[in-house]
Amino acid sequence: LRAEILAIGSELLDPDRSDTHGPFLAEGLRSVGVEVMARSLVGDEREWLEPAFRTALARADIVIATGGLGPTEDDRTREAAAAVLGRALVRDPEASEALRARFARYGWELTPDNARQADLIAGAERLANPNGTAPGQWIEDGERLLILLPGPPGEMRPLFEAEVMPRLRQLAGGRVVRSRVLRLAAVSESEVDRLVGPLYARVDNPRTTILSAAGEVELRFRASGATEAEAEGRIEALVSQVRDVLGDRIASEDGSSMEEVVARLLTERGQTLALAESCTGGLLAGRLTAVPGASVFLDSTVVTYSNAAKTALIGVDADLIARHGAVSEEVAQEMARGVRARAGTDIGLGITGIAGPSGGTPEKPVGLVMIALAGSAGDRVRRSVFPGDRSKVRARAVAVALEMLRRGLLGLPQI
């Protein structure tokens, strides 16, 4: 089965945006054995949309289109697809009712524009969208299959996974594809590749991909087999060699994010945490509190940008700051100890650094970050100089802090 993906919306063509829909859908389709042969971004004009649908439906078995299902003038996907299929649009009673209920819940009025979102192509199966207003649509047309999905990633992705994937899996029959993701933090892509490249380079099944972003590296393995056990066995055979090489640097093998790994460790061990962030400005707290249930372990966080706040809120000695500077191992250590003492938690963590673009000196360059742990996960200060711009320095500091927490909680030596 061969598929084509159309991501619809003029805003997607902005050169500053990168397409996230295409890779996400291609990944999902590949996992059920469907090959993607073309992926397009198309502006939302009828003269461009209709030829796109016409061409795609002529050459692909499966066409998935995202976007253009909303209530505005720009949303023309329904009309264009209906015209190409030569079918009418029909207002769906169930979709209308779902829309009405959703609007009522938030006390909004259901305008005629919004009501349009309940229009389905005649013969389409409605794919319920619990996260938004426009439902997806599943349209069989002879040998061809057209699937319309809403554009916002927060709606499209769950809908694809819950409604589309199971149906496609059934359609594709046959071969099973399994994948596994290993995650590492505080390490570079080239370091990981140097270690594991020789292991996977000559292996076609599983296929291995290395991805990295801001101090974290993902190793992705994807294998196919006649059965689930065969595909899993192929992955396990390679991963066990990778484990021999990377050892305890592997933070997760089940796709969990670093914050999920740390949150789980803290929760399981009944340990509590308090953070004192300076240059990361709340980003570490933001990531940890993205995990549901973070209130169990994260007592409090203080973001102490000014020296005065470091003293007032967490009791860092003003003399210490004057002597060593706000970005110093000594101050980081006192931030970790101070916030732990004030909050009465098991663990304290302090981060202070120079995220840039200004504020660097020859001795203390932009990118210099001190991260300190205090308490039951060990006492330790780490000094790093991170490359990249302000946002990269901040993200890398957060990745290292999460890895230090993970290692401390597991009793592993700090790197």
Using CB under 8 A as the binding rule, the residues of this chain from 70 to 109 that contact its own copies are: 70-74, 102, 105-106
**Touching its own copies, residues 362-391 (CB under 8 A):** 385, 387-391
**Smallest gap, in angstroms, from Cβ of residue 75 to its own copies?**
10
Nearer to its own copies by Cβ, of 97 and 113: the residue is 113
- Span from 33-41, 85-93, 136-144, 400-408 in contact with its own copies (CB under 8 A): 33-41
Q: Report the alpha-carbon distance of residue 413 to residue 378 in Å, rounded.
A: 10
Task: Name residues whose C-beta falls within 8 Å of residue 232's C-beta, 6 or more positions apart in sequence.
Answer: 178, 223, 225
**Residue 283 binds its own copies, judged by CB under 8 A:** yes
Q: How far is the CB of 122 from its own copies (least distance, A)?
A: 25
Q: Which residue in the block uniquely carries the two structure tokens 């397009």?
A: 40
Structure tokens at 76: 């023309």
Would you call 368 helix, strand, or coil by DSSP? strand
Q: Which of 318, 379, 386 is nearest to 355 (CA)?
A: 386
Binding residues for its own copies restricted to 112-141, rule: CB under 8 A: 113-114, 131
**Which amino acid would we find at residue 367?**
G
Which residue is it, tokens 């916030």? 339
Alpha carbon distance 38, 63 (integer Å): 10
The answer to the question of residue 252 lying near its own copies (CB under 8 A) is no
- DSSP alpha helices (H): ranges in 305-389? 307-314, 318-324, 329-343
Give the binding range for its own copies (CB under 8 A) out of 243-251, 263-271, 275-283, 407-415.
275-283
180 binds its own copies (CB under 8 A): no
Nearer to its own copies, 265 or 313 (CB): 313
- Comparing CB distances to its own copies, the nearer of 73 and 363 is 73
Among 1, 115, 253, 281, which residue interacts with its own copies (rule: CB under 8 A)?
A: 281
The per-residue DSSP string of 217-242 comes to: EEEEEEEEESSHHHHHHHHHHHHHHH
d(CA 354, CA 249): 27
- Rounded to 10 deg, the angle between the 189-200 and 228-246 helix axes is 130
Name which of residues 158 to 177 contact its own copies (CB under 8 A): none
Of 123, 282, 325, 378, the one binding its own copies (CB under 8 A) is 282
Given 33, 40, 83, 364, the residue binding its own copies (CB under 8 A):
40
In this complex, which beta carbon is closest to its own copies, that of residue 174 or of residue 202? 202
Q: Which stretch binds its own copies (CB under 8 A): 120-128, 165-173, 234-242, 273-281?
A: 273-281
Q: Interaction with its own copies in 187-246: which residues (CB under 8 A)?
A: 189-190, 193-194, 197, 201, 207, 209-211, 213, 220
Distance CA 39, CA 20 (A): 11
Under rule CB under 8 A, residue 352 binds its own copies: no
Of 27 and 228, nearer to its own copies (C-beta) is 27
* Tokens found for residue 58: 């002529």
Identify the helix (H) or strand (E) that includes residue 11.
none
Q: Applying CB under 8 A, which of residues 11, 97, 161, 254 lies at the interface with its own copies? A: 11
Q: What are phi and psi of 381, to 5 degrees?
A: -120, 135
Contact status: 260 vs its own copies (CB under 8 A): no
- CA distances from residue 217 to 126, 213, 296, 398 in whole angstroms, order as listed: 38, 7, 28, 14
Pick from 128, 306, 318, 361 the residue near its own copies by CB under 8 A. 306
With respect to its own copies, which residue has the nearer C-beta, 155 or 403? 155
Helix (H) or strand (E) holding 253: none
CB of 397 to its own copies, least distance (A): 12
Position 15 contacts its own copies (CB under 8 A): yes
Residue 123 vs residues 89, 156, 163, 164, 232: alpha-carbon distances, Å: 9, 21, 17, 17, 39
The least distance separating its own copies from the CB of residue 384, rounded to whole angstroms, comes to 10
Per CB under 8 A, the list member of 77, 129, 224, 301 interacting with its own copies is 301
Binding mask 307-336 for its own copies (x = CB under 8 A): -xx--xx-----------------------
Phi, psi at 179, each rounded to 5°:
-140, 165
Which of 258, 198, 234 has its CA nearest to residue 221?
234
Q: How far apart are CA 111 and CA 103, in angstroms?
A: 10
Cα–Cα distance for residue pair 105/100, rounded to 1 Å: 9
Q: How far is the CB of 305 from its own copies (least distance, A)?
A: 5
Residue 40 CB, shortest distance to its own copies, in Å, is 4
Give residues 52-71 in contact with its own copies (rule: CB under 8 A): 52, 54-55, 58-59, 70-71
